Structure 1
C-alpha cells in the first residue's frame, strides 16, 4: 500500500505536467485538474473503504501526507478556476481591481488560517 500511496502524488504531478502542455488556457487546466483530483479522491476513498490499510504506518502516511497534499491541490485549482472564470475583460482598471481584490482576500485567508495556526502552535495554544 505504501508504494501505491506514493504513486498518487507522482500521478498528480504527471497530470499537472500533461495538462500544462495540453490545455489551451489556464482556466481549462484548472478545471480539468479540479475534476481529476475530485475523481482521484473518490477512487482512493472507495479503495480504502473496500481494502483498508495494510499497516498503521500506511494509514498515518495517508492522513498526514497524501490526503493533505491532494486536498491542498484541489483547493488551489478550484480557487484558481473560480477566480479566472469570473474575471472581467482583460484590460483597464476593472481587471486590475478584480485581481487586487482577490489578492487581498487570499492574503487575509493566509493570515487567518496559516499564520494564526503557526502562532498557536509555537505558543502551545493549539491542542492536537
Structure 2
C-alpha cells in the first residue's frame, strides 16, 4: 500500500508542478490543480477499497499520514481558488482587510478545534487508534468534519486534512499580506531587490530559521516562527509549504539532527582556514 501511495503522491506533485509552470491564469492553474487532486484522491480510494490493512498500525498510518497528504492539498487549492475569485476590487487597504478576515476565520477554526490541534502539533500518538481507525466515530465529535463513508473514513482524518490545509493557506495569506506591505513602503524604505532565490533543500532552510528563532535573534526573541517563515519565503522566493512537518522530521532524526547547521559550521571554518592559509603564505613570501 505504501509503495502505491508514494508513487501516486509523487506523480500528483509532478503534475501540480507542471501546472504551475504553464502560461495559464492563476485561476485556471488552481482549477486544474483541484481537478488533479480529485483524480488522485479517487484513485487512492479505489485502491484502498479493495485492500485489507495488515494491522492497526498500517491503518493508522494511512488515515493519519497518507490520506491527509492528498486531501489537504485538495482543500488548500480550493481555499486559494475561492480567495482569488472572491477577491474584492479596490486598493491595498480593502485587500488587507479581506486577507485579515480570512486569517481570522482560520484562527477561529483552530480555536474551535484546539484540543485536537494541540494533539496534532505536539506529535502525540496515544489516541491514534481512536482518531485514525475506522469504526471509532463518536456522535459527540464535530459532525461537520466527518466524512460519511465509514469504510473510507475515521472520525478525525478529514479534520486533520483540513487543519493541514488551513496551515498552508495561512502561510499563503501571510505571503500575500507581506507583498502588500512591501509594495506600500516609500521607495527610500523598500528593501533592495537582490533577486535571491533559495536553491538548497527546503528542509535546510526550515532548520536554519528554527535555529535563529530558538536563539532569539529577531526582535529580542519576541517573534513567532510563522512570521519569520513568511518573511523568508518572500525574500528567498520559496514555498516552504508545511514547514512544521519538516521541523517534525528534523526532530525525529536519530543521527545528525542538526545536519545543515553542522555543514554551515564546517563550511565557515573551512573558509576561515583557507583565508588564514592564504594570508600566511603571502606574509611568508614577503620575507624573501
Distance 1:71 1:102, change over 3 A: farther
Of structures 1 and 2, the one scoring higher in RCO (CA 8 A, sep 6+) is 1
Counterpart residue number, 2:42? 42
Structure with greater Cα Rg: 2
Whether the 8 Å CA contact 1:30–1:80 is kept in 2: the answer is yes
Within-5 A mapping of 1:106-121: 106-114=102-110, 116-117=114-115, 121=119
Query: Number of residues paired by the alignment?
Result: 119
Counterpart residue number, 1:80? 80
> How many angstroms does 1:105 deviate by?
2.9
Question: Which is richer in helix?
Answer: 1
Looking at structure 2, the residues matched to 67 and 74 of structure 1 have their Cα atoms a distance apart, in angstroms, of 11
Distance 1:15 1:53, change over 3 A: farther
SS at structure 1 position matched to 2:24: coil
Residue 13 of structure 1 pairs with residue 9 of structure 2: no
Residue 52 of structure 1 pairs with residue 48 of structure 2: no
- Unpaired runs of 5+ residues, structure 2, are 132-288
Counterpart residue number, 2:28? 28
Whether the 8 Å CA contact 1:38–1:74 is kept in 2: the answer is yes
SS at structure 1 position matched to 2:17: helix
Looking at structure 1, the residues matched to 61 and 23 of structure 2 have their Cα atoms a distance apart, in angstroms, of 32
Whether the 8 Å CA contact 2:88–2:98 is kept in 1: the answer is no
Whether the 8 Å CA contact 1:5–1:66 is kept in 2: the answer is yes
Distance 1:72 1:117, change over 3 A: farther
TM-score between both structures, scaled by the size of structure 1: 0.74
- Unpaired runs of 5+ residues, structure 1, are none
Counterpart residue number, 1:71? 71
Whether the 8 Å CA contact 1:30–1:81 is kept in 2: the answer is yes
Whether the 8 Å CA contact 2:30–2:81 is kept in 1: the answer is yes
Looking at structure 2, the residues matched to 120 and 54 of structure 1 have their Cα atoms a distance apart, in angstroms, of 28
Whether the 8 Å CA contact 2:5–2:44 is kept in 1: the answer is no
Looking at structure 2, the residues matched to 9 and 117 of structure 1 have their Cα atoms a distance apart, in angstroms, of 29
Looking at structure 1, the residues matched to 98 and 66 of structure 2 have their Cα atoms a distance apart, in angstroms, of 28
Looking at structure 1, the residues matched to 2 and 26 of structure 2 have their Cα atoms a distance apart, in angstroms, of 33
